[in-house]
Structure 1
């Protein structure tokens, strides 16, 4: 089947395929379209039984959904493309990267999972929808898709509630059965496409732990966890997702451009400064970097430029170590040396990078054994305060 689709952007730009989640149509990517279509030939399509793509009798499986994409690429005579998918779209992307790696250039997986059991729950949901229709799923789905603040907005609940209700009952049910039968977790190590994994910190449908498992299994994958974002993180945090996707899909072209800037520069390494600023914002958050910039004086400006270029533009920007691991190393060093102001900042950064609370605890336990109990005691007290504040802010 050739899904219904639309193409937007410069005709000769690299193609970027955007795949929608269960219960949505391709307009779920509306917020990303202006930024992405300025640089890429954006190909949005509707999953089978969603939007304008007709349903067929279920059950479906990921191979069926993946081959719909391959049929579409063949129809448009596109040999190779970037791919980004949310939830079910991400599962489709993983299947493609495993089974048709020659067709996928770079891959972005948002708020998704490689194993989202139990299978019985998805079969029960499929049966429920076949009996009661997708309109019966609206309220519970909106609660999972968005944080309470965004879900309470009438424009959001109206748009996405209507989107769920308009999804074909059989198409929705068939896709539920595709999720029930997917077997991706054992195949992730075979993905060779450069991969970005994005999770929403408040996502109850596919919590960050699912993203951590994907990123830990795909060689060289980059993990980003967005604060104040639930399941449709691209809707809730559009500017952050725009930036992450733009950076990721620019890929080698962007790095070559930055390298050329550095080679042609006068020693100030403008390329590393630009990269460092972007990476610093990704790890520490826009609010922190904005506060730092506001406090920068003529006296401190050279130092800020130095750490932006070397700490963030060179070390943290390197792909030789993933960011969760860098966070763990940084936490251990800061705790062992008693640098508490920096430690507080990097506890927050570690959570943004997808480091689990349990992992932070283990890092500090290692500090106790290898650097001394008093230092670990202080670090535990500080980290506990930071993590408790995060829980209060998220309403946990």
Structure 2
């Protein structure tokens, strides 16, 4: 890991939409242990550590740091990974980084989730005092009270408390400086990315009112309160956080499944879904998300035109089982039997007569089944 980059952990297929996950002060990538693996089924998930936390070098931050400087480190990481545009979810300070990115680098953020965070963190006084305390006495005392600040009574995650205790005091104090100086309320109305706010109903650090303030200011934003969650909701209520994030970030998969059903029909899609097993789950998601959610929804070509192109490609490669399926789809997309015959005749010129001969046989069978009579 280069000293100039934040420590990170990447999971999921590189072809999937990228999703960056930001941590809370005093934690590491472990904060996302119960959420990230599931998100990585449909996304290229990249978790990152704050400077001086987890595996990130403390030297990446200095006294008087700002959230903008942390956001710049996140962009440096994204650039190094070849990620141009990405979804982003962050907790507390990680959420503040997300708000800054969405407000100042809107071209990079496709969708945003802000979890147990704030637009101002109750002013600078308490954070300046904490920074001075940590620089003077280290983190042992604060780590001893982490459970009461992070979780509901009786709940703990020892690994996260250990992260708090082992963080670099200087870097931790510099992050406190960033929180002290942070106030983005005047810029919230300019955020254009689809935005979800998640609040822990039992969170004393950033109570639901802080998230509601953001939701009221960001155009089109939505707010969900998570019962039984305090400040580190992804660790305490991972199922609820996962469900909310999936609903927010899986837009391509949802839209793709809708289009897939419209074009191929419920019977075919239901049959494909019923045959799905863990071995094929990512492939099925890839089809719904990429082929149907991004390509077939592109308005540049009509569905009728896409059907004609698809028929030709399938004939060229001899995929006659798929051809049968897409002849049915072509009928749903408005092609008449004469239109289909014209496409097949065109393919005889450019794909070869034997290929077109097989395609005509397949099409004749399918069209007869569709009409319920011999052809």
Matched position secondary structure for 2:74: helix
Matched position secondary structure for 2:27: coil
Counterpart Cα distance in 1 of 2:146 and 2:188: 28
Matched position secondary structure for 2:52: coil
Q: Note the C-alpha offset of 1:144.
A: 1.3
Match runs of 1:71-150 below 5 Å: 71-150=76-155
Matched position secondary structure for 2:154: helix
Superposed CA deviations along residues 90-127 of structure 1, whole A, max 9, x for unmatched, are 00000001111111111110000001122111000000
Match runs of 1:223-372 below 5 Å: 223-258=223-258, 260-261=260-261
Equivalent residues of 1:142, 1:160 under 8 A apart: no
Q: Note the C-alpha offset of 1:75.
A: 1.1
Matched position secondary structure for 2:110: strand
Counterpart Cα distance in 2 of 1:59 and 1:213: 26
Cα gap change, 1:130/1:266 in structure 2, threshold over 3 Å: closer, same or farther?
A: closer
RMSD between superposed Cα atoms in Å? 1.7
Superposed CA deviations along residues 120-144 of structure 1, whole A, max 9, x for unmatched, are 1100000001111112101322101
Q: Note the C-alpha offset of 1:183.
A: 2.2
Matched position secondary structure for 2:206: coil
Give the greater-gyration-radius structure (CA).
2
Matched position secondary structure for 1:47: coil
Equivalent residues of 1:19, 1:84 under 8 A apart: yes
Superposed CA deviations along residues 232-255 of structure 1, whole A, max 9, x for unmatched, are 011111111111111111124413
| 1:59 has 2:55 as partner | no
Superposed CA deviations along residues 355-379 of structure 1, whole A, max 9, x for unmatched, are xxxxxxxxxxxxxxxxxxxxxxxxx
| 1:8 has 2:11 as partner | yes
Counterpart Cα distance in 1 of 2:217 and 2:41: 32
Matched position secondary structure for 2:111: strand
Q: Equivalent residue for 2:300? A: none
Q: Note the C-alpha offset of 1:58.
A: 1.4
Cα gap change, 1:262/1:211 in structure 2, threshold over 3 Å: closer, same or farther?
A: farther
| 1:31 has 2:34 as partner | yes
* Count, aligned residues: 263
Q: Equivalent residue for 1:42? A: 45
Counterpart Cα distance in 2 of 1:49 and 1:266: 52
Give TM-score, length-normalised by structure 2. 0.67
Q: Equivalent residue for 2:315? A: none
Equivalent residues of 2:30, 2:160 under 8 A apart: no
Counterpart Cα distance in 1 of 2:227 and 2:258: 29
Matched position secondary structure for 2:250: helix
Counterpart Cα distance in 2 of 1:185 and 1:125: 23
Q: Note the C-alpha offset of 1:54.
A: 1.3
Q: Note the C-alpha offset of 1:263.
A: 7.1
Counterpart Cα distance in 2 of 1:85 and 1:114: 13
Q: Note the C-alpha offset of 1:256.
A: 4.0
Counterpart Cα distance in 2 of 1:254 and 1:108: 18
Structure 2: segments with no counterpart, 5+ residues: 271-375
Equivalent residues of 1:59, 1:173 under 8 A apart: no
